[in-house]
Structure 1
Amino acid sequence: MTPVAPAPTTFSRSRFRARSALLLAASTALTMAPIGVTAAQAAVDRVRLGSPTDVSRASWSGPAYTMNGSGGIVAATMTRAVDAIRGGTGTIDVTVVAASGSGTPECDDIIGLAGVNSCTTLTMTAARDGDDAQANTDIRNAEFVYFAGGDQCNYAAWKGTALEASVESVVAKGGGVGGGSAGHHINSDIVYDACGGSATSAIALGNPYDRSMTFTTGMFRWPNYADTINDSHFVTRDRMGRTMAFVARAIKDGRTSGGKAWGVGVEEGASLYVDRNGLATLSGPSAYVVLGDHQPEVAVSGQPLTYSNFKIWKLTSGQTYDFANRPTCGYYLRSVTAGVPSGSLYSGTPVTSCSPGGEEPPGGTEYAEVEPNDSRTAANDISTRTFPLTVTGDLKSGSDRDYFQVTLGSGQTLSVGCAVPADYDADLYLLSSTGSMLTRSVNDGAGADESVTLTRTASGSATYYVDVEAYSGSGPADYRCAVTKS
């Protein structure tokens, strides 16, 4: 049993926002550097706490990261990051980047931690501020950069500015990076930027291409953290459904490097500390890793999401997730059918017995075609499998057909939804036991998905055949068909 760590100490961003403008101006005037630059002249509001002189050192021992579910600093993970970067000796400089607000709430908390030499707050309210010379000097001279809460769309606007390379240089020299809430979002490989408004789970599952579902890629890609999409305030604001939609969109839109995507949802008050080897340790209430490892069955504009078997890891305080060697067991499964999730999304019984390849053992919820299955007499029999079932296969020639045999009882409904890769145009047929066509789906175009539904009204049970056929094109890329019986 994993021991439960004490609740982390968190500091609220909002409690400092009510400071008077007079106090802020006085603080800024006293701490500005270099000498001669005044607040009136600066494009970026800059406040430095602690030593006015940067630490000088040849090498650092990071990188280290903190991924926080809400905007405040979590002392436990921030302290671990500081200690890891400085290698247990000396001190580091920290820069906090904020796109809104006033005061220095994060630095007020960071400066009191052991091993911190200085903390500089940069409030940068315009996209052009990403190229501000003094701001980039502060970032490059720091050993840790923390993105505050706020609106991640403002942070995404700095993509392509000097700030992007400056932050990357901190990690490259063995420093670290982190953030909370919006600052958590901007540190994932695929960023939900919320530039079209904030999506709820209901909106995202009802239409994964809603105008609020916008993403930025190519800004930061941290070692061991590829193909991730961060989300925050996770349980409190019920964001599991929208993270599922984020993951499905990332895969469907080809934003990932290997056809898989990992959502990383962190609850308010919680923080993931990720070390230089990619091992993440949770401090605080909970965090979730949501893996999508296949194409969605239905993910099109204006239609609700259908996606079978998201793999979900739940972490509690003190538990770990290895992003460098991503686990293949310990998850529970949840599916979404026509926008409706199956079961409780925030808890489940973990799968513990996985094969070396990471899939469920025989009898599980995924079935890969076995050739030859090019006719009804050679059909793969999936009748005794567990449903809902994901059937995978490929159409390696323009004349390829794949048949699957299934049994329906009186009153049962069979639904088949196939996600077709861009390599070819496939058609989907549902046949009777004698081979008569009962229904079909023949959407035009390579990569066009297909779906059919049939309810058996006659008494007794009967055999049916699912027939996936190449219409034009071919290739080794897998189609994935979600097969359900209800």
Structure 2
Amino acid sequence: MSPSRNRRRLAVTAAASALLTLAPIGVTAAQAQVTRVRQGSATDVSRTAWSGPAYTMNGSGGIINATMTRAIDAIRGGTGSIDVAVIAASGSGTPECDVITGLAGVNSCTTLTLTAARDGNDTQVNTDIRNAEFVYFAGGNQCNYVAWKGTALEASVESVVAKGGGVGGGSAGLHINSDVVYDACTASTTSATALADPYDRSLTFITGMFRWPNYANTINDSHFVTRDRMGRTFAFVARALKDGLVSGGKAWGVGIEEGASIYIDKAGLGTLSGPSAYVVLGDHQPEVAVSGQPLTYSNFKIWKLTSGQTYNFANRPTCGYYLKSVNAGVADASLYSGTPVTDCSTTPPPPTGGSSYTEVEPNDTRSAANSVAGLTFPATLTGDMKASTDRDYYALTVNSGQTLSVSCAVPSAYDADLYLLDSSGSTVTRSVNNGAGADESASLTRTTSGSATYYVDVEAYSGSGTADYTCTVTKS
């Protein structure tokens, strides 16, 4: 959200106003009013087929001509023209349509300003959206936008994509177009706040509004570098994983800088226009993501895009990222740059400052557990499930007041489960996600006085193989 998000929509120039048809949609003076402003042709394009979908994801609220033009051309297949609908929740101007109507291939652009949740069911609003071939969500406050979830507007926007049209948005309009939406309905969070407590009241989300093809399990963030939002995107990704807001044990944050825009074609290939954008992958459960405690997460994978570079959202890359971590709420330095990993055939290095240990068989019982008490934490444990009945035990010490957190990346060769046991062998907590390759994560806090031995127990549930699992262990 931008503090100036409404100021830019306050005025329409005299030259532009001569082109407008201003039509408040029928309400009484005492009620909030839907405003409809149409520019360009008064008649919608008539056509039976379109060549999209196409998307524009903008880091700030304004239209980026380069990506908007690409979307228009893709949707119309190089011939004819399209109708555009711009949806806003505040302001009285038409800054987006003022730009869009000047682009080649545009028949009309209609600005719809909705000021209440019920406006999502307005008949004229939904007619305009369904007759459009591209819908653009303006900047503003995404909390107003999520109020339209479950209204007719949601289905109307989806119908535009389904017929081969497109969708886009900037700032708040960018947020609403991701799979998981940071709604900012209680407050707008900062990186410092989110890292200090990923469950702070300012971190609230919704799911199930829009899920665009090839864009599943994403969380968008805007004004990315200018407002230093990498840290809060780390927290968004960690929350999405911890709270089960995404599927498959992975979440992708997409952070776009002001003045930048990612154009995504119907095959899922994203191309950046403008300063920079970042894709942040969390592919394991957070080591520590607990209400009231700072975030700990090792090895976020980050792809940095500059103008002209691409990212394939349909076939997401496994190389080319750099690694950054957060330990007890403190993020690594230089979050917006790093040395890319080009050889992804090897396991990523352990978290900064930690040590690693490879299992030594036999370690199939507590009495034969590998002792890892002397490691420097955070630490990395590596082993494999050599048989479908294999169990790997690791022993370590936990002090009073300490939290032990374990996050295991499991290869696709087998399904393994994670148990944390106390000194007597009783299960304190466990993680038993279903499916080969499903990652596991669990944590416990010792509340009694003194120190004691605890066990990390990795067990084969089904399948086996020599492919390594990797468990990151932290004590905080």
Name the TM-score, length of structure 2 as normaliser: 0.80
Note the alpha carbon deviations across 1:343-371, whole angstroms, 9 max, x for none: 3111000000012xx85499999988687
C-alpha distance in structure 1 between counterparts of 2:324 and 2:311, whole Å: 19
- The equivalent of 1:190 in structure 2 is 180
Note if contact 1:263-1:290 (Cα within 8 Å) is conserved in structure 2: yes
Note if contact 1:240-1:265 (Cα within 8 Å) is conserved in structure 2: yes
- The equivalent of 2:443 in structure 1 is 449
Name the SS for the 2:192 alignment partner: helix
C-alpha distance in structure 1 between counterparts of 2:453 and 2:100, whole Å: 64
User: CA offset at residue 43 of structure 1?
Assistant: 4.1
User: CA offset at residue 18 of structure 1?
Assistant: 3.7
> Which runs of 5 or more residues in structure 2 are unaligned?
397-401, 410-415, 432-440, 447-451
CA, structure 1 residues 370+224, in 2 after alignment: closer, same or farther (shift >3 Å)? farther
Match 1:17 to one of 2, 6, 9: 9
Matches within 5 A, 1:185-224: 185-224=175-214
Name the SS for the 1:78 alignment partner: helix
- The equivalent of 1:267 in structure 2 is 257
Matches within 5 A, 1:373-412: 373-375=363-365, 388-391=378-381, 402-404=392-394
User: CA offset at residue 394 of structure 1?
Assistant: 10
Match 1:426 to one of 419, 431, 438: 419
CA RMSD across the alignment: 4.2
Note if contact 1:44-1:125 (Cα within 8 Å) is conserved in structure 2: yes
Note if contact 1:400-1:469 (Cα within 8 Å) is conserved in structure 2: no
Name the SS for the 2:202 alignment partner: coil
Deviates more, 1:49-58 or 1:440-449: 440-449
C-alpha distance in structure 2 between counterparts of 1:443 and 1:22, whole Å: 70
Identity of aligned residues (%): 70
Match 2:344 to one of 341, 354, 360: 354
- The equivalent of 1:160 in structure 2 is 150
Match 2:329 to one of 327, 339, 357: 339
- The equivalent of 1:456 in structure 2 is none
Match 1:417 to one of 387, 405, 430: 405
Note if contact 2:134-2:167 (Cα within 8 Å) is conserved in structure 1: yes
User: CA offset at residue 440 of structure 1?
Assistant: 11
CA, structure 1 residues 339+442, in 2 after alignment: closer, same or farther (shift >3 Å)? farther
- The equivalent of 2:246 in structure 1 is 256
Note if contact 1:374-1:400 (Cα within 8 Å) is conserved in structure 2: yes
Note if contact 2:395-2:456 (Cα within 8 Å) is conserved in structure 1: no
User: CA offset at residue 103 of structure 1?
Assistant: 1.0
Matches within 5 A, 1:28-427: 30-32=21-23, 43-355=33-345, 359-360=347-348, 373-375=363-365, 388-391=378-381, 402-404=392-394, 417-419=405-407, 426-427=419-420
Note the alpha carbon deviations across 1:125-144, whole angstroms, 9 max, x for none: 10000000000000000000
C-alpha distance in structure 2 between counterparts of 1:483 and 1:227, whole Å: 26
CA, structure 1 residues 445+376, in 2 after alignment: closer, same or farther (shift >3 Å)? closer
CA, structure 1 residues 70+425, in 2 after alignment: closer, same or farther (shift >3 Å)? same
Name the SS for the 2:61 alignment partner: coil
C-alpha distance in structure 2 between counterparts of 1:420 and 1:158, whole Å: 38
Note if contact 2:272-2:307 (Cα within 8 Å) is conserved in structure 1: yes
- The equivalent of 1:6 in structure 2 is none
Give the residue type in structure 2 aligned to 1:467: Y
> Matched residue pairs, number?
441
C-alpha distance in structure 2 between counterparts of 1:175 and 1:342, whole Å: 41
CA, structure 1 residues 296+53, in 2 after alignment: closer, same or farther (shift >3 Å)? same
C-alpha distance in structure 1 between counterparts of 2:372 and 2:321, whole Å: 25
Give the residue type in structure 2 aligned to 1:17: R
Give the residue type in structure 2 aligned to 1:268: E
C-alpha distance in structure 2 between counterparts of 1:366 and 1:153, whole Å: 44
Note if contact 1:418-1:451 (Cα within 8 Å) is conserved in structure 2: no
C-alpha distance in structure 2 between counterparts of 1:426 and 1:123, whole Å: 53
CA, structure 1 residues 485+210, in 2 after alignment: closer, same or farther (shift >3 Å)? closer
C-alpha distance in structure 1 between counterparts of 2:373 and 2:196, whole Å: 31
Give the residue type in structure 1 aligned to 2:229: R
Note if contact 1:403-1:465 (Cα within 8 Å) is conserved in structure 2: no
Give the residue type in structure 1 aligned to 2:177: N
User: CA offset at residue 450 of structure 1?
Assistant: 2.4
Give the residue type in structure 1 aligned to 2:419: A
CA, structure 1 residues 215+362, in 2 after alignment: closer, same or farther (shift >3 Å)? closer
Note if contact 2:403-2:444 (Cα within 8 Å) is conserved in structure 1: no
Note if contact 1:13-1:72 (Cα within 8 Å) is conserved in structure 2: no
Name the SS for the 1:73 alignment partner: coil
C-alpha distance in structure 2 between counterparts of 1:368 and 1:186, whole Å: 44
C-alpha distance in structure 2 between counterparts of 1:441 and 1:303, whole Å: 26
Give the residue type in structure 2 aligned to 1:265: G
Note if contact 1:363-1:386 (Cα within 8 Å) is conserved in structure 2: no
Name the SS for the 1:449 alignment partner: strand
User: CA offset at residue 469 of structure 1?
Assistant: 4.3
CA, structure 1 residues 200+366, in 2 after alignment: closer, same or farther (shift >3 Å)? farther
C-alpha distance in structure 1 between counterparts of 2:10 and 2:364, whole Å: 71
User: CA offset at residue 342 of structure 1?
Assistant: 1.8
Note if contact 1:416-1:481 (Cα within 8 Å) is conserved in structure 2: no
Note if contact 1:394-1:476 (Cα within 8 Å) is conserved in structure 2: no
Name the TM-score, length of structure 1 as normaliser: 0.79
User: CA offset at residue 443 of structure 1?
Assistant: 5.0
User: CA offset at residue 383 of structure 1?
Assistant: 10
1:468 aligns with 2:443: no
User: CA offset at residue 265 of structure 1?
Assistant: 0.1
